[in-house]
Structure 1
Amino acid sequence: MASSADLARRQSIALVAGESSGDLLGSRLLAGIRERLPEVRLHGIGGEHMMAQGFTSDWAMDKLTVRGLFEVIPRYREIKGIQNELRDRLLADRPDVFVGVDYPGFNLGLEEQLRKAGIPTMHFIGPQIWAWRGWRIKKIARAVSHMLVIFPFEENIYRNAGIPVTYVGHPLAEVIPMQPDLPAARARLGLAADRRVVAILPGSRMGELKHNGEGFLAAARLLRKRDPQLQFVAPMAGERQMAFFQEQIRQGGYEDLELKLISGQSHCAMEAADAVLVASGTASLEVALYKKPMVISYKVVWASYQIMRHMGYQPWIGLPNILAREFLVPELLQHDATPQALADAMWHQLEDHAHQQRLVRRFTDMHHALLRDTSRESANAVCEVLGARRK
């Protein structure tokens, strides 16, 4: 029987991640694959974290980064063109397996076409069919040879639908320390150790910054009036996001805020904070794993919101609340996300010490539940599909 190294030399794995959270999650999968199959070819679309694992990205990942039902319309032709060209390349190259990393709107359609052509397909992180769009399970059954899921309750959903599935834990539960080191994080960011810090995370996508940024800044100003000693830190996902947010600060006259803008380092900002104002998404789970009080907020264009609000299956949108099955932290959405409402909710997160202690206990339990050797577990599942022997 051929060794793993011999097998890897004639194998390739194609992957697609379409946004920064998927890039980070994909990098954990690739780390495990590299350990098992060090010479395998890894290519497709991904970001800097995936490329650090020897991944070749054939397009810049930010070409795909867009969110919202109506926000995608101006970009549809460009994104569809990338999908078609990538499909044609993969059908010609015939990778041994394709792994879609989240980004279901793009990846499921691609996976369905590749699977029809006989290429095994995997999907890493199940679409949130338990939250909305449950009908997608039928498309997933057509498109995906094997699901890799990151929440324990998802296994039964896919198993009951006849879709092979493996629970691999959440990669972020490994990356984020069980005990955050607040003083060290503040020292790394040059923040005063003896003054409270609020982290502002309006989102990594340009559309999120457009809809959330101004309100988050206005809320910060109101908080600063209540406590002039507050410090603010806002991590930006890239140069475009940084420039756009700086323009929002300038146009809104927010230069007087003691706001430290940083490039990347979102985890360090969360670790340094006393409380976090965060756009709904994976970042809210990251904040929970850092055991921090938070307010979750989100705005999209009006038409998108009208459609999306009628498609949800449960009362929560924030991942910490979904996992807890209760409103552990506030969610302020769309017209409810006024600067005053955001500031009031954030002030409660800063001032209620009993609530903070309860959150630490609940978020610690959540962290333990999600903690697995995700890199190894997911790589094992990929290698099983490839036919490689488990170590």
Structure 2
Amino acid sequence: MVAGEVSGDMLAARLLAGLAPHLPGARFHGIGGPRMAEQGFVSDIDMDRLTVRGLFEIIPRYREIKGIQNALRDRLLAERPDVFIGADYPGFNLGLELQLKEAGIPTVHFVSPQIWAWRGGRIKKIIKAVSHMLVIFPFEEEIYRKAGVPCTYIGHPLAELIPMEPDVAAARSALGMPPDARVIALMPGSRMGELKYLAEPFVGAVKLLAARDPDLRFVAPMAGERQRQYFTELIARAGLQSVRIDLLEGRSHEAIAAADAVLVASGTATLEVALFKKPMVIAYKVMRASYEIMRHMGYQPWIGLPNILAREFLVPELLQHAVTPQGLADAMWEQLNNAANRKTLVQRFTDMHHSLLRNSAQESAAAVMRVMRVIAASKKSS
């Protein structure tokens, strides 16, 4: 198994939990993170060595990452595992899966690349590289069935982890916040690459929002000590010592549950916010050259998962040059104070939650076991 980032680690951990009862003596190894390790996974290489964001940002590290891919490929070709599972991270995993499948090793890819959003030509490579695709959004099944790729919709694991009706009072109590406070959660991303582009405008927006309402409270879950230190320095530089900003070690779900509205970087976190039924503003900013290429390759007007699933702009998206303190503050102020919009979002996000709710660990494990049984039967008959 290979997961290259936090979201893939979470997804793969769910799959491992489902597989364990069926394969009590199996050895699971490859590249993974802490959640996979909790399920008994052995990581041969630190997952952080694969983490990179954007198109051009990968160039300085291409040789290193390609070397990791080649070393893992050689090891797996010699080992001949019963199945290889790529958890998201398509740029790395699809190339590896292609070589393994050609050598007769069954491959399962867990979470479809967003070919419905951009780079639709990837379906040609997927047909050659993937024995079975596991998808987490219901509309993806038809895409793969039409392409002739065996596919199973397993639901989204986050829909199981997040309660249908979040307990706001309990979250605020756990974080030491008054029940009647007005709270904004800040989620500028877990990677330093994201913070580089988003943390400063996020902090600038906090300054503007606090000027409008000095009683506002802010909470920001941090992915690690480097992120916390970087964010702390920006807060000090902006002169926000008098503004109540709580920086948390992780605890992102508590932060979202406690919030009245969320300022969030585009990515999986936007779906988490939707499942918590919260108003939000989505921000996205990368290297300019990367953005221009991705913009021209896109097939639809949305980048945020809640908007993609709804097929409309349920929540505002601010992209690239629009990611300014003023733009973010204005959009957040509207999300924070529009009661009618809040009521609409709660209903739409509740419907979305129901559509994504399955037993993902059980469904994904059953699909992997089917792939393994088919391969075992074909080997036996030959």
Normalised by the size of structure 1, how large is the TM-score? 0.94
- The residue correspondences of 1:346-365 to structure 2 (distance < 5 A) are 346-365=332-351
344-353 or 237-246: which moved more?
237-246
What corresponds to 2:40 in structure 1? 54
What corresponds to 1:12 in structure 2? none
CA distance in 2, matches of 1:252, 1:65: 29
What corresponds to 2:363 in structure 1? 377
What corresponds to 2:235 in structure 1? 249
What corresponds to 1:116 in structure 2? 102
Residue 169 of structure 2, aligned match among 162, 172, 183: 183
Shift of 1:97: 0.4
Counterpart secondary structure, 1:257: coil
What corresponds to 2:64 in structure 1? 78
Residue 292 of structure 1, aligned match among 278, 281, 290: 278
CA distance in 2, matches of 1:46, 1:175: 20
Evaluate the alpha carbon distance shift between residue 59 and residue 256 of structure 1 in structure 2; reply closer, same or farther with a 3 A threshold: farther
CA distance in 2, matches of 1:188, 1:39: 40
- The residue correspondences of 1:134-283 to structure 2 (distance < 5 A) are 134-283=120-269
71-80 or 270-279: which moved more?
71-80
Shift of 1:191: 2.0
Counterpart secondary structure, 1:255: coil
Counterpart secondary structure, 2:16: helix
Shift of 1:21: 1.0
Structure 2 gap ranges (5+): 377-382
Shift of 1:237: 1.5
What corresponds to 1:312 in structure 2? 298
33-42 or 375-384: which moved more?
33-42
What corresponds to 2:380 in structure 1? none
Structure 1 gap ranges (5+): 1-14
AA partner of residue 338 (structure 1): T
CA distance in 1, matches of 2:111, 2:17: 17
Residue 35 of structure 1, aligned match among 10, 14, 21: 21
Shift of 1:370: 0.4
Normalised by the size of structure 2, how large is the TM-score? 0.96
Answer yes or no: is the 8 Å Cα contact 1:66–1:206 preserved in 2: no
234-243 or 102-111: which moved more?
234-243
Counterpart secondary structure, 2:20: helix
344-353 or 233-242: which moved more?
233-242
Evaluate the alpha carbon distance shift between residue 72 and residue 248 of structure 1 in structure 2; reply closer, same or farther with a 3 A threshold: farther
Shift of 1:215: 0.5
Counterpart secondary structure, 2:101: helix
For residues 244-286 of structure 1, the C-alpha deviation after alignment (integer angstroms, 9 at most, x for no partner) is 3223333443333311111111111111111000000110000
For residues 89-116 of structure 1, the C-alpha deviation after alignment (integer angstroms, 9 at most, x for no partner) is 1112111101100010111001111111
Answer yes or no: is the 8 Å Cα contact 1:147–1:164 preserved in 2: yes
CA distance in 2, matches of 1:92, 1:242: 42
Counterpart secondary structure, 1:28: helix
CA distance in 2, matches of 1:35, 1:210: 42
Answer yes or no: is the 8 Å Cα contact 1:321–1:329 preserved in 2: yes
Counterpart secondary structure, 1:190: coil
Answer yes or no: is the 8 Å Cα contact 1:42–1:55 preserved in 2: yes
AA partner of residue 60 (structure 2): P
CA distance in 2, matches of 1:254, 1:49: 35
CA distance in 2, matches of 1:32, 1:139: 28
AA partner of residue 201 (structure 1): M
CA RMSD of aligned residues (A): 1.2
AA partner of residue 5 (structure 2): E
CA distance in 2, matches of 1:309, 1:346: 24
Residue 115 of structure 2, aligned match among 120, 124, 129: 129
CA distance in 2, matches of 1:241, 1:140: 35
What corresponds to 2:87 in structure 1? 101
Residue 314 of structure 2, aligned match among 328, 331, 337: 328
| Identity value in percent | 69
For residues 114-138 of structure 1, the C-alpha deviation after alignment (integer angstroms, 9 at most, x for no partner) is 1111110010000000000000000
68-77 or 99-108: which moved more?
68-77
Counterpart secondary structure, 1:35: coil
Answer yes or no: is the 8 Å Cα contact 2:214–2:243 preserved in 1: no
